[in-house]
A = this chain, B = another copy of it.
Amino acid sequence: MFRNQLPHYEILSGEAMEVLDSGWRRIVSEIGVEFMSDRALELFRAAGQKVEDNNVRFDPDFLLAQVAKAPREFGVQARNPANNVHIGGDHMVFGGVYGPPFVREGEARRDGSMADFENFARLAQSFSALDTAGGVMCEPNDAPLDSRHLDMTYALQTLTDKFYMGNVVSAVNAADTIRMTEILFGGREAIERTPATISLINCNSPLRWDDRMLEAQFEYSGANQPVVLTPFLLMGAMSPVSIPAALAQQMAEALTGIALSQLIRPGAPVVFGSFLSNIDMRSGSPCFGTPESAVGLLATGQIARRFGLPVRSGGGLTSSQTPDAQAAYEGLMTMLPAFLAGINWVMHSAGWLEGGLVASYEKFVIDVQVLEMLQQEFRPLEVTEESLAFDAHTEVGHGGHFLGAAHTLERFRTCFYRPFLSSSDNYERWTRDGARDAATRAGEIARTKLEEYEQPPLDDAIREELAEYVTRRRRELGD
């Protein structure tokens, strides 16, 4: 897996960090955070925090004491051990887009289907730059609603041999995900020892954690499966329009959610989540890849490290409706800061389009291309005497070229990253080949990858047990 070994890019001064620190402390202690769960409220009350209706006012130092129980980094196992990942430190883990109801393929925009979901799972399996397909690459609208989580989990388990995300729609769905994971990995103990899922717990920002997400959190943290406590902040709507205010709110929300996991199970793995952008103040539409979101992202990495926590952000976010130049520059305006900020778990790394409403086949491939380039860029540059290639200079001398130099011939296959999507063909050749733009070529690559896809092997008995579980539970759930 990829390790980001270039330096962190940190933009907050010590003084700025102190101000932000005073900000979240004041929010949690004076305003408080709402938890729409009696179990959560009871835990906080028992721990001595001020509970009034659903609101909890915290002693900030109590929160820090809870946060300190969380591991700084942790492993997540995949059914193929070669695909195990590590979350934290200088590791970066990348997953596909999460949550879109719609799919775009070429010029067609349609409801996402189970076939699309499976295709995105296959694509994620096909690209080594991705550590996981994610969890809900698109909503499979044609699958029965109450048992859909079973179909998605089964697809992720059988079509990929990478780790996968847990369903968080309800406690029931979470419990089913955990049970299916136990089947795949050989029992509860195996996945409690090393987690095999990671789950996204979004805050209903500002300052409220909702019941269904909290129920899922109880299930996952209870089973020692990592949860990503993510304030959902579009500045101007869910937070004030000032970046520092949004950062302080993000700290208040993430730290309180993380503290809950530590009360549920001390030492449970957690991730400091961030989904931070802004709305267009004229239309109210969410905007992505904005300068403000990039600044927020850079600051977030630094903030999470201050608490000794792994950190999550988005990847190739964009508002664009189509996989065009805007989709690419907005995507990179998020993805490159994620590398600079030392983000550990990058969701929406491939396929995100139209503000997250659409999973795009073409954008998926474009994003993987960009991701591969950045994974190449953020490696340490080895500067040694040998790397100076003085002999090559002696051989070529003045005004010559290095194409045939011994140093070049020894290295030409591996010296530079070779893109699979980008074209540097000359105009004549490009025209002869159909004058296809990047989106067109990306669509062709997606189709080829799907044709060439081979399902990773899985023990028949396990597959049958999973299928039986899906069938039985679907019946029980009335679908």
Q: A: which residues have CB within 8 A of B? A: 6-7, 9-13, 15-16, 19-20, 22-23, 26-27, 30-34, 55, 109, 204, 206-208, 235-245, 248-249, 278, 280-292, 294-295, 299, 319-333, 336, 340, 354-355, 357, 366, 369-370, 373-374, 376-377, 381-385, 387-390, 392-394, 396-403, 405, 407-408, 411-413, 415-419, 421-427, 430, 435, 437-439, 442
Which residues of B lie under 8 Å from residue A242 when comparing CB positions? 387-389, 407, 411, 415
Complex: A321 Cα to B33 Cα, angstroms: 52
Contact A285 B426 (CB under 8 A): yes
Which 7 A-B pairs have CB atoms at the shortest separation, nearest pair first? A328-B328, A16-B383, A319-B424, A325-B328, A291-B376, A291-B377, A245-B389
Contact A329 B332 (CB under 8 A): yes
Q: A321-B427, A381-B11, A424-B287 are in contact. Are A206 and B397 (CB under 8 A)?
A: yes
Contact B241 A12 (CB under 8 A): no
Contact B248 A388 (CB under 8 A): yes
Which residues of B lie under 8 Å from residue A292 when comparing CB positions? 376, 416-417
- A307, chain B: closest CB distance, angstroms: 17
In-complex Cβ contact of A374 among B280, B291, B322, B331 (8 A) = B291
Complex: A208 Cα to B425 Cα, angstroms: 28
Contact A387 B435 (CB under 8 A): no
Complex: A421 Cα to B319 Cα, angstroms: 12
In-complex Cβ contact of A283 among B26, B288, B413, B425 (8 A) = B425
Which residues of B lie under 8 Å from residue A285 when comparing CB positions? 424-426
Which residues of B lie under 8 Å from residue A421 when comparing CB positions? 326
- A370, chain B: closest CB distance, angstroms: 5
Contact B321 A425 (CB under 8 A): yes
Complex: A417 Cα to B240 Cα, angstroms: 15
Complex: A340 Cα to B281 Cα, angstroms: 29
Complex: A208 Cα to B123 Cα, angstroms: 49
Q: A12-B381, A389-B242 are in contact. Are A413 and B281 (CB under 8 A)?
A: yes
Which residues of B lie under 8 Å from residue A281 when comparing CB positions? 412-413, 415-416, 418
In-complex Cβ contact of A383 among B19, B32, B206, B354 (8 A) = B19
Q: A236-B415, A387-B242, A415-B242 are in contact. Are A33 and B332 (CB under 8 A)?
A: no
Contact B438 A398 (CB under 8 A): no
Complex: A418 Cα to B284 Cα, angstroms: 13
Which residues of B lie under 8 Å from residue A9 when comparing CB positions? 7, 9, 340
Contact A381 B16 (CB under 8 A): yes
Which residues of B lie under 8 Å from residue A402 when comparing CB positions? 206, 235-241
Complex: A326 Cα to B430 Cα, angstroms: 14
Complex: A408 Cα to B20 Cα, angstroms: 19
* Chain A to chain B contacts (Cβ below 8 Å), 23 pairs: A15-B383, A26-B388, A206-B393, A207-B397, A236-B408, A236-B412, A240-B393, A245-B387, A245-B390, A245-B393, A245-B407, A281-B415, A285-B424, A290-B417, A292-B417, A295-B377, A320-B422, A321-B425, A322-B435, A324-B438, A332-B332, A332-B333, A333-B377
Which residues of B lie under 8 Å from residue A373 when comparing CB positions? 289-291, 329, 333
Complex: A442 Cα to B236 Cα, angstroms: 28
Q: A245-B388, A393-B245 are in contact. Are A237 and B325 (CB under 8 A)?
A: no
In-complex Cβ contact of A396 among B206, B282, B393, B437 (8 A) = B206
Closest to A331 in B: B329
